[in-house]
Structure 1
Amino acid sequence: MPDISPSHFNVGCESFPSPLQYQDAGPEPATPWSVPMMKMHANAPLRRPSAVSEKFLLPEHQRPTVQHDDFTNLEIPIIDLAAYDLEGDESAMETVVAQVRDACLNWGFFQIINHGVEEEILSRVQSQANRLFSLPYSDKMKVQKQPGKYSGYGHVTAKEGDIRPWSEGFYFSDEKSAADHAQQLWPEGNNDFVDSYKEYCEKVKHLSSRVMRIIVAGLEADPAHFEKYTTDTGGLLRWNFYPACPEPLKTIGLTAHTDFNLLTVLHQGEIGGLQIQKDGKWIAVRPRPGALAVNIGDTLQVLTNAKYKSVPHRAVVNTTRSRISLVYFWVPLTTIDIVPSPDLVDANNPCKYKPFNFETLTKTKQMSFLNTLDHFLREE
């Protein structure tokens, strides 16, 4: 996919001059949040970066110190799912189960290849996301995410009074809302938008179910407990847009948090920016061609009685390249209390959490992004 490199850095209706000099590949947009395709002069002189607005500036002690491409030699697990589908090859399947179990125990995060989501689908969805985020800000506000709703355009994971993240998001809850939004954005019709969304979600939902079966197979617990939460359930899709930023180490694309759901499947694109926490340190996740990332969510942490942990993660930005990520949250059945598997509770590992429902979890998550499950711990 082509890079989105604007001549101005834009977050919502905010616009900031670029620290680099660019040559337009097309006309300048009429509104500041449009994102035209650009190419950089080979010998362009540097300009002095403009200061980021205070509403985006983090306190110094909260600012990221690991850059988007500051990759280490620490090997984040990469798991080939092809072996799990080799009919009759129990040894190969057991190897995949063991690899996933090890990744869940030690990382809460891993990347997968040969996952069944074709590159052509990823490219089409990425293209639609580019198209949406390239719209004028006033157009996107026509489909602004409303309070209490799960779909629409808005800031990513920000609540009243927070420092604003250097990013924006678009949330999907179902096919109807996607079609309604497409009609508002493109009244002349846009079947590609809805069809791409639908096909991608179907593929990633199937993949999520498949990964969950592998995870449960490594737990030595009755699958029936987990099936109560995964049968006839679905997911939420969010597109994240991280514009280039003149001062990336003074702001954050997405603040540190854990996910509320069972597990998350992420297409992070070819540009670094995703970071996970390992042993108290932040690690930049190197993008892998053809790979999708998977991380454990709060709900799965509770179901496993904290045997598998929900991994803290964040997104950082950079000066020259914008990034789009596609995030699929596989959500548990919402009508029953979230409780650990009885097979993972015993005298040596007592039940760590009080029962709670999904609505309580999501409300608590809105107030506490990072340590949500601390609110549900049983007293010693």
Structure 2
Amino acid sequence: MPTSECFARVPPFPDQVPTVELQRVELSKLLSGDEAESEALFEACTGLGFFLLDLRGCAEGQGLLKETEAGFDVSREFYALSDEEKSKFPLLPSNLGYKPIGGTKIEDGRPDRCEIYSLPTDDLVGLAPPIRNPPPFEKSRPLLTSCAKHLHSVATTILTHLSAHLGLPPRTLSSMHALTERSPSNLRFLHMPPQRASAAQTSLMGHTDNGSVTVLFNVVGGLQVLDGTNGWRYVRPEPGHAVINLGDSMVQLTGGVVRSNMHRVVPAPGAQSESPRFSIAYVLKPPYACRMERLKGEGIPRGEEEEEEKEKVGTYEEFHAKKSKGIREGKNLVGSRGGKKTEKKVDVRVNEVMA
């Protein structure tokens, strides 16, 4: 999450609500090759599929915290525009651009309570012709380009450690996600307005991500993770940390070794419920042309189901399109994927959200 100064501007996250205990991993130790920290990362990726990444202990992390904090200011400027102005930048077929509140459905078929603007990484790093972005983003292009590159580096650092634990040749996974390859990776700005307690509903439906790694920053709470038999639990925002989770494509490529876990966003608890919720996410995804076949490594299981997968496997472009369609229609209630055994059913009710 951004710095402590940013957290001081909103009410504190309450202590009395149920939260999930996430593994904490330090970026500085990952960059230095610390084996124990790498083991902790792998344990988190094969267990809950979520962990906290502490960015405070190195120059790379501290610089990224400052960039994302500036990114929150850009996001607020955009979401202060009128609906008419924002609608001039409609969602593209690639799922990039502006998605208004109500643009997708939640679990019970009602419109969502979340608006999103997604900037393609290909655009920011010059791999594709630039798209037409709203003025707040366009005038901040140098900042956002730098931020996307640094977030991409963090995500691929995580993949480099996963490659080692899966018995793959060094940097296999990070090389598959190189910035030189066209992909639907994106820098995403989300806004969820406060809700009345009497009409509280899911802001963003329960889902698993369809990419490889998501790096998330937010100050106001509301993110919930499905914690095995414990059900939905809040993730407490922590200054100086990012929330990391893995997506479905990484489960597919590793034969189910790592977890892509169900998560959703609901109204923030306690006094934070009166504050708008802004978040920034970098969503790392494989190249469009990547074949979604499980990789061959000592830590990746082989079996009969692998042969069945080969008959169905396609490119990530096809994989991405199918999953995105399901999310838009509110049809992603399939539970968590990969990793250790977890829940059999998903309770989609919004409960204990306004405590």
TM-score by length of 1: 0.71
Residue of structure 2 in register with 1:346 after alignment? 302
CA RMSD of aligned residues (A): 3.2
User: Which of these residues, 326, 336, 357, is aligned with residue 315 of structure 2?
Assistant: 357
1:197 is paired with a residue whose SS is helix
- 2:156 pairs, out of 200, 203, 209, with 209
Do 1:152 and 1:172's aligned partners in 2 also have CA atoms closer than 8 Å? no
Determine the structure 2 residue equivalent to 1:181: 133
- Asked if 2 retains the 8 angstrom alpha-carbon contact of 1:261 and 1:297, the reply is yes
Against the structure 1 CA distance between its residues 75 and 220, is the aligned structure 2 distance closer, same or farther, given a 3 Å change threshold?
same
Tell me which amino acid in the other structure corresponds to 1:286: R
Secondary structure class of the residue paired with 1:196: helix
1:151 shift after superposition: 2.2
Q: Which residue number in structure 2 is paired with residue 304 of structure 1?
A: 254
| TM alignment of 1:117-156, pairs within 5 A | 117-148=63-94, 150-155=96-101
Q: Check the 8 A contact 1:68/1:272 in 2, yes or no.
A: no
Work out whether residues 156 and 254 of structure 1, in 8 Å CA contact, stay in contact via their aligned partners in 2. Answer: no
SS in 2 for 1:169: strand
Structure 2 partner of 1:277: 226
Query: 2:155–2:284: 8 Å Cα contact kept in structure 1?
Result: yes
- 1:111 matched to 2:61: no
Indicate the structure whose relative CO is greater, using CA pairs within 8 Å and at least 6 residues apart.
Answer: 2
Distance 1:243 1:178, change over 3 A: farther
Q: Which moved more, 1:156-165 or 1:315-324?
A: 156-165
In 1, the alpha carbon distance for the partners of 2:267 and 2:222 equals 6
- Distance in 1, matches of 2:76 and 2:248, equals 30
Q: Which amino acid aligns with 1:285?
A: V
Q: 1:119 to 1:96 in 2, by over 3 A?
A: same
Separation in structure 2 between the aligned mates of residue 362 and residue 248 of structure 1, nearest angstrom: 36
Instruction: Tell me: CA distance 1:254–1:211, structure 2 relative to 1, closer, same or farther (3 Å).
Output: same
Displacement of 1:84 = 2.5
Query: How many equivalent residue pairs?
Result: 303
Checking the alignment, whether the CA contact within 8 Å between 1:345 and 1:351 is kept in structure 2 is no
C-alpha offsets along residues 59-107 of structure 1, whole Å, 9 cap, x if unaligned? xxxxxxxx99764465211111212233xxx6xx111110001101111
> Which residue is 1:198 aligned to?
145
The alpha-carbon distance between structure 1 residues 120 and 346, as it changes in their structure 2 partners (threshold 3 A), is: closer
Amino acid at match of 1:84: L
What SS does the aligned partner of 1:180 have? coil
Residue 54 of structure 1 aligns with which residue?
Answer: none
- Contact 1:156–1:169 (CA<8 Å) still a contact in 2? no
Partner of 1:292: 242
Instruction: Give the conservation status (yes or no) of the 8 Å contact 2:259–2:336.
Output: no
Letter in 1 for 2:132: D
Per-residue deviation at 1:259? 0.5
Identity %: 19
Q: What TM-score comes out, normalization by structure 2 length? A: 0.75
Q: Aligned partners of 2:39 and 2:192: how far apart in 1? A: 35
Gaps of 5+ in 1: 6-38, 40-66, 375-380
